[in-house]
Amino acid sequence: MEKKPHFVRREFLPREVPSISLALLLVAVLLLNALLYLYLSKFSSSLGRVETDSGLCPFGHFKFGAMKNCSPWLSCEAINREVRKLKCVGEGAVKKVFLSEWKEKKVVLSQLTNSELKEDFLHGLKMLKALQSKHVVRLLGYCEPQFTILTEYHPLGSLRGLNETLHIPKYKGMNTWHRRLMLAIDYVSVIRYLHSSPLGTLVMCDSNDLDKVLSQYLLTSDFHVLVNDLDALPLVNRSAGRLVKCGHRELQGEFVAPEQRWPYGEDVPFEDDLMPPYDEKTDIWKIPDVSNFFLGHVEGSDIVRLHLFDIHAACKKKDPSERPSAQEVLDTYRKVLTLLIREAAMPGTREML
Do residues 83 and 198 share a domain? no
In-domain check, residue 11: no
Query: In this structure, are strands 83-91 and 95-102 parallel, antiparallel, or unpaired?
Result: antiparallel
CATH number at residue 114: 3.30.200.20
27 belongs to a structural domain:
no
Kindly state whether residues 317 and 173 are assigned to the same domain: yes
Q: Please give the span between the terminal C-alpha atoms of the chain, in angstroms, as a whole number.
A: 56
* Predicted local confidence at residue 345, as pLDDT: 77
Alpha-carbon distance values, 102 to 62, 87, 108, 141 (Å): 13, 14, 9, 11
- How many structural domains comprise the chain? 2
pLDDT of amino acid 299: 96
Instruction: Give the pLDDT score at 45.
Output: 47
- Within a domain: residue 29? no
Query: What proportion of the chain, given as a percentage, has pLDDT over 70?
Result: 83
What number is the average pLDDT over the span 12-16? Answer: 50
Note whether 117 and 184 are same-domain residues: no
Q: Tell me the pLDDT tens digit for each residue of 138-190.
A: 999 999 999 999 999 999 999 999 999 999 999 999 999 999 999 999 999 99
Residue 111 and residue 78 share a domain: yes
pLDDT recorded at residue 50: 45
pTM for the full model?
Answer: 0.85
140 and 265 in a common domain: no
Q: Report the CATH number at residue 301.
A: 1.10.510.10
Same domain for 212 and 303, yes or no, is yes
The Cα 321–Cα 340 span in angstroms is 30
Q: Is residue 23 part of a domain?
A: no
Band of the pLDDT at 351, cuts 50, 70, 90? very low
Residues 270 and 201 in one domain: yes
Domain co-membership, 135 together with 174: no
The residue ranking higher by pLDDT, 55 or 177, is 177
Confirm if 187 and 231 have CB atoms less than 8 A apart.
no
Among the candidates 152, 170, 204, a domain finishes at: 152
**C-alpha span between 166 and 175 (Å, rounded):** 6
Quick one: which H or E segment has residue 332? helix 326-345
Judge residue 56's burial from the number of C-beta atoms within 10 Å of its C-beta, 0-12 exposed, 13-18 middle, 19 or more buried.
exposed
Q: Residue 339's pLDDT is what? A: 95
**Same structural domain, 231 and 172:** yes
User: What's the whole-number mean pLDDT along residues 263-268?
Assistant: 94
Q: Are residues 98 and 171 in the same domain?
A: no
DSSP 285-312: HHHHHHHHHHHTTSTTHHHHHHHTHHHH
Is 224 found in the same domain as 280?
Answer: yes
Please give the residue range of the domain that contains residue 92: 72-152
